[in-house]
Each structure stands twice: as C-alpha cells, then as structure tokens.
Amino acid sequence: MRKITIAIDGYSSCGKSTMAKQLAKKLGYIYVDTGAMYRSVTLYALRRGLFAEDGTVDADTLKSEMGNISISFKVNAQTGQPDTYLNDELVEGEIRTLRVSNHVSPIAALPFVREAMVAKQRQMGLEKGVVMDGRDIGTTVFPDAELKIFVTASPEVRAQRRYDELKAKGADADYDAVLRNVQERDYIDTHREVSPLCKADDAVVLDNSEMTIEEQDQWLMKEYCRVCGNK
Ligand code: DC
C-alpha cells in the first residue's frame, strides 16, 4: 500500500497529538510530535539559564549552542508511543511541565531554531508513512503532504477540555484563567513573524467542537481513504 505524509496542524488543546498518535498507530505510520522538539530546545535553554527575568531569551548564546542540542524519539515499549530524548536523556515528562509551556513561545519564534527543527522534521519524514503534528507542517515542513488536516474547536470547548484534564489530575484550576491562556496562545501562534499558524490552502478543516472521539476517528479514516483510494 502506498505510504503518504499526513500533516496535522491547528490550535493548541484541540487534541491534535492524541488524534495523530491514534491515526499513526492504526496505519502503522511513524508519529512525530513537533511541539515536543520546540519544548526540548526550551528545556535546554532553561537549564543553561538563557532566560532573563522578563522572559526574554539570550538568542546569541542559544544560536552558538544549537550544535550541542540533539533531539530524538524512541518508542516506549510499555506505551508503544515515542518518547522524547534530549541529548540521549529521557525528557518526555519534563518538557510537558508548566515551566516549559510558559517559556516555549519565544523559543519557537526564533528563526534559527525553526530552521534547525524544520530540517530535522523533513529528514524524519523523508520515507513517508509519517503523521506529523504541529503548527506549520502543511504550510512549511511538508507543503506537498498528500493529506493536510487543520484542526480547530472553539476556545471555550478547548478551555473546558483543558480544565477537565487539570481537574482530573487533581490540580487547582480556574476555568476563566484557562480560557485566557488558550486565547493568549492562539494569539501568539497566529501572530508570530516566522511560520505563524495558518491553514494551508489545500488543508481540510476538522472542527471537533461537537464531535465524539469515535466520530473523529471515522472522519480521519474517511479522509485517509479519500486520498489513498482504499476502502
Ligand atoms: O503543540 P505543543 O503545545 O506541544 O507546542 C509547543 C509550542 O511549540 C507551542 O507554543 C507552539 C510551538 N510549535 C510551533 O511553533 N511549531 C510547531 N510545528 C509545533 C509547535
């Protein structure tokens, strides 16, 4: 069966990574979480003390040290999903912390960081058979991807999902604060100078505000079959 490249872009907290992981598993494709790569560079910069008090980053030093940063993914035998490694150290948990989330935007806006990550992402997708999720996959990384999906849901629905997740983890969450954070991240992602989040002209929109997981899975498989011609 012919292998294709599947690009999944969209807003934060839309469930992109969950759907991309499941789709990759079903198709026997490789899943690449590009957000994890920007998060890993952020963790490196935090550990090196490259952030000033006001949240700005020492870009010159980071640029000179980009050669020291190696990011890789290895499949976790227990979960069957890829874990993220920074210079061969497992950082899957640490890159998901609030500390990293709060510092990642300025890192993801640095042109030399994006250039290095995009080159690595293209290399990982060279053989096709890949589901890659991010913000600029269909527009910049793989403009020729056979299937491009742009995921969206209303800010209120996404905030509610995130709020429920935090509550389920036992965290102290405030819905209005979560909603503000979702709206702020949308603004930053769509107004960034380099590779802002935008729908590729040939991407299909998936608004999952009112969809169940099963409906979403069916929708994804239908799109995959439409492109590949397999039923
Ligand atoms: O998807 P995520 O929340 O893990 O992404 C983390 C950050 O990285 C987020 O601020 C958006 C940014 N990002 C990006 O700029 N380009 C990508 N391809 C993926 C993520």
Ligand 1 centroid from CA 69, angstroms:
18
| Alpha carbon nearest to ligand 1 atom 2, residue | 35
| Alpha carbon nearest to ligand 1 atom 8, residue | 35
Q: Is the CB of 138 under 6 A from ligand 1?
A: no
Ligand 1 centroid from CA 70, angstroms:
18
Identify the weakest region by mean pLDDT among 142-146, 191-195, 206-210. 191-195
Q: How many CB atoms lie within 10 A of CB 18?
A: 12
Ligand 1 centroid from CA 91, angstroms:
16
In the chain, which ranges are continuous DSSP H helix? Answer: 16-27, 34-47, 59-65, 98-108, 111-124, 155-168, 175-191, 213-228
Cα separations (Å) of 63 from 44, 51, 60? 12, 13, 5
164: helix, coil or strand?
Answer: helix
Q: Is the CB of 21 under 6 A from ligand 1?
A: no
Return the best residue to mutate from 8, 32, 34 for the ligand 1 pocket (most ligand atoms within 8 A of CB).
Answer: 34
pLDDT mean over 22-51: 96
Ligand 1 centroid from CA 1, angstroms:
31
Domain ranges for the chain, please list them: 5-224
Ligand 1 centroid from CA 182, angstroms:
13
Dig out the tokens for 189 from the structure: 């992602």
* pLDDT at res. 166: 83
Is the predicted pLDDT of residue 210 greater than 60, yes or no?
yes
* pLDDT at res. 151: 96
pLDDT mean over 19-26: 93
Instruction: Indicate the burial class of 37 (C-beta count within 10 angstroms; 0-12, 13-18, 19 or more).
Output: buried
| Alpha carbon nearest to ligand 1 atom 15, residue | 108
pLDDT mean over 175-179: 91
Q: How many CB atoms lie within 10 A of CB 102?
A: 13
**CATH of 5-224 among 3.40.50.300, 1.10.540.10, 3.30.390.50, 3.50.30.50:** 3.40.50.300
Predicted TM-score (pTM) of the model is 0.92
Q: Is the CB of 22 under 6 A from ligand 1?
A: no
pLDDT mean over 95-100: 87
- CA-based torsion, 133, 137, 142, 146: positive or negative: positive
Q: Are 176 and 36 in contact (CB under 8 A)?
A: no
Is the predicted pLDDT of residue 38 greater than 90, yes or no?
yes
* pLDDT at res. 230: 58
If you ran DSSP here, which 8-state letter would residue 80 be given?
S
The rounded mean pLDDT for the chain is: 93
Return all residues near 5 (Cβ < 8 A) that are at least 6 apart: 125, 128, 130, 132, 142, 144, 145, 146, 147
Give me the sheet containing 204-207, strands edge to edge. 30-33, 130-134, 5-10, 147-152, 204-207
Is the predicted pLDDT of residue 231 greater than 60, yes or no?
no
pLDDT mean over 15-32: 93
| Alpha carbon nearest to ligand 1 atom 13, residue | 35
| pLDDT tens by residue, 43-73 | 999 999 999 999 899 999 999 999 999 999 9
b/e burial code for range 108-136 (CB count within 10 A of at least 16 → b): bbbeebbebbbebbeebbeeebbbbbbbb
Is the predicted pLDDT of residue 98 greater than 60, yes or no?
yes
| pLDDT tens by residue, 127-165 | 999 999 999 999 999 999 999 999 999 999 999 998 998
Return the best residue to mutate from 12, 16, 135, 188 for the ligand 1 pocket (most ligand atoms within 8 A of CB).
Answer: 135
Ligand 1 centroid from CA 100, angstroms:
11
